[in-house]
Structure 1
């Protein structure tokens, strides 16, 4: 049985971080690679605790890509990845949670831990259901543009690349293509409807990949930028969370995911042109990833299984119906 944190376990850590007495704890939904806990304090304040340990990671070991620390698609879990991404994004003026305390030596709790200031939300996803959020979307677009223009030393996860680690590949599109083929094959073993279309989709991926022209590497991306990964301060400022997957990579990879998650709101996040061939290729790859990933999670004991089933089902339909010639470039700002 998995072990999750309770108030007794987190009290020494939270006391060290805040000097206050914790009075209540709640594990927040959504995280699949780390535990996220909101802890109420005796002064009516609150903090959020991130914990990284095996019991908090719901990804089956066989589903984790571990090809070296800099690999952009390696399993994005760990305190060090969070801290390195936080440092880089902060330097660009991108909103991230305030770090109050960190414990990588496990002095206070049996896990790598970071305590951050509480951001009760709401998420941008929730706000957009209520109506347009022009100020927040404009601020997020500006942040993404700063990330797009960020000098990229090489492809890969922020911390390892900044410390000098390199991978052999120099073309983002080739990595995306190879990963998409692997996702397609893996998901087809679990889903008969995808298996029936596997050859057609593999040929489409090949066609889309061959249309992408090589170019110099630019940009820093969050990696999974959906509205649920953006919290909004009372003044409308967006704050990125779940940042461990931040990497130096094509901005079209970010926008392919954001197009899926933000839908009609996505054009409000674009500053300047996107490479249409690259965006089209990456969009199909993202759909396949969002089928394969949830299906791998469902092999294990991940909670909220209905949500992951729905993600896989939606993206399966999108992949099967994908039109490789449909225009999709957008330019704003």
Structure 2
């Protein structure tokens, strides 16, 4: 199946967005993007480049759901033009930088899918800085910590994606438990090691859930904030990308993901006052999600298959280790 956009069409979109016949000198499909196509379009300038997002169905590598997704489910597929626009507005209001949306279109008159042309932020990712430029990475981590403080200062009395805050009466921790049990069953059907440990993991999930106390306020979080989802501009300022998953939820969910992705550099992003019981439940739930999700993705034709196998295997090993820890 063809998973790439027609470059001539992308060039035309950029010229419509910029309102000028600026020459296109190159188009590169960027790595990642399992739910949408992401392209860097180089120009005769200025600007010298922009990024194009395409939400064409053929560029979504996830198996198509049989039922319509619940728009209030914070863990439903976090993708789509309208979620990008809502998240960008919310981040700007919170004083957190994301790439500027230069132009967007959902009419399909110019392109057979929802599309957006956004600012291309030069400077590379925080992931690359952590590997190759530790001194610059330290400065960027401190800037990211300040951005997280501003982001997490925004709260609501319900959880859910922007514009669809939950009215179900189900607590955030109950939704995480139910989702984790589903991920456990799905993962166990694909990996016999998880199947052998299923009863013990179910018991641990219920035990951890029972320790969590009710909560009335939820925090605005990114949801999948790894160093690959942070760009660093020429001035050293951090810029959040892949922001469609922005939602109100437990801040502990954000910090479990930060722990997982930043490893020994997480200390620069740590926060006081987190709920230890929620952290324990969410650590195990997130590892189960990162087993079931990659295995599900491999049911399709996702190209970087070895990478997905590695993610599933690593998180399976961590999940099995977590149930051995004393509570």
Name the TM tier (shorter chain). Answer: over 0.9
- The CA distance in 2 between the partners of 1:118 and 1:15, in whole Å, is 15
- The CA distance in 2 between the partners of 1:215 and 1:5, in whole Å, is 45
Residue in 2 that maps onto 1:80: 82
Residue in 2 that maps onto 1:46: 49
CA, structure 1 residues 159+121, in 2 after alignment: closer, same or farther (shift >3 Å)?
A: farther
- The CA distance in 2 between the partners of 1:82 and 1:109, in whole Å, is 18
Match of 1:158 among 140, 158, 162: 162
Residue in 2 that maps onto 1:60: 63
- The CA distance in 2 between the partners of 1:39 and 1:235, in whole Å, is 22
Instruction: Please tell me whether residue 253 in structure 1 is matched to residue 253 in structure 2.
Output: yes
Aligned residue runs from structure 1 range 132-211, under 5 A: 133-161=137-165, 166-211=166-211
Residue in 1 that maps onto 2:307: 307
Contact 1:47 1:115 in 2 (8 A): yes
Once the 2 structures are TM-superposed, how far is the Cα of residue 187 of structure 1 from its aligned partner? Answer: 0.4
Instruction: Please tell me whether residue 108 in structure 1 is matched to residue 110 in structure 2.
Output: yes
Residue in 2 that maps onto 1:214: 214
TM-score by length of 1: 0.92
Deviation by residue 1:73-94 (Cα, 9 ceiling, x = unmatched):
1111210011111111110011
CA, structure 1 residues 43+78, in 2 after alignment: closer, same or farther (shift >3 Å)?
A: same
Structure 1, gaps ≥5 residues long: 328-333
- The CA distance in 2 between the partners of 1:322 and 1:159, in whole Å, is 35
Residue in 2 that maps onto 1:17: 17
Once the 2 structures are TM-superposed, how far is the Cα of residue 272 of structure 1 from its aligned partner? Answer: 2.3
Contact 2:100 2:118 in 1 (8 A): yes
Residue in 2 that maps onto 1:95: 97
Once the 2 structures are TM-superposed, how far is the Cα of residue 221 of structure 1 from its aligned partner? Answer: 0.9
- The CA distance in 1 between the partners of 2:151 and 2:170, in whole Å, is 19
Contact 1:79 1:113 in 2 (8 A): yes
Q: What is the SS of the residue equivalent to 1:30?
A: coil
Residue in 2 that maps onto 1:331: none
- The CA distance in 2 between the partners of 1:9 and 1:120, in whole Å, is 24
Q: Out of 98-107 and 316-325, give the one that drifted further.
A: 316-325
Deviation by residue 1:191-248 (Cα, 9 ceiling, x = unmatched):
1111111111111111111111111122111111111111111111111111111110
Once the 2 structures are TM-superposed, how far is the Cα of residue 325 of structure 1 from its aligned partner? Answer: 5.0
Once the 2 structures are TM-superposed, how far is the Cα of residue 66 of structure 1 from its aligned partner? Answer: 4.6
Once the 2 structures are TM-superposed, how far is the Cα of residue 323 of structure 1 from its aligned partner? Answer: 4.8
Deviation by residue 1:250-282 (Cα, 9 ceiling, x = unmatched):
010011111111111112112322111101110
Deviation by residue 1:124-147 (Cα, 9 ceiling, x = unmatched):
111112325222111211221222
Contact 1:71 1:167 in 2 (8 A): no
Instruction: Please tell me whether residue 117 in structure 1 is matched to residue 122 in structure 2.
Output: no
Contact 2:7 2:27 in 1 (8 A): yes
TM-score by length of 2: 0.94
Contact 2:201 2:323 in 1 (8 A): no
- The CA distance in 2 between the partners of 1:254 and 1:66, in whole Å, is 26
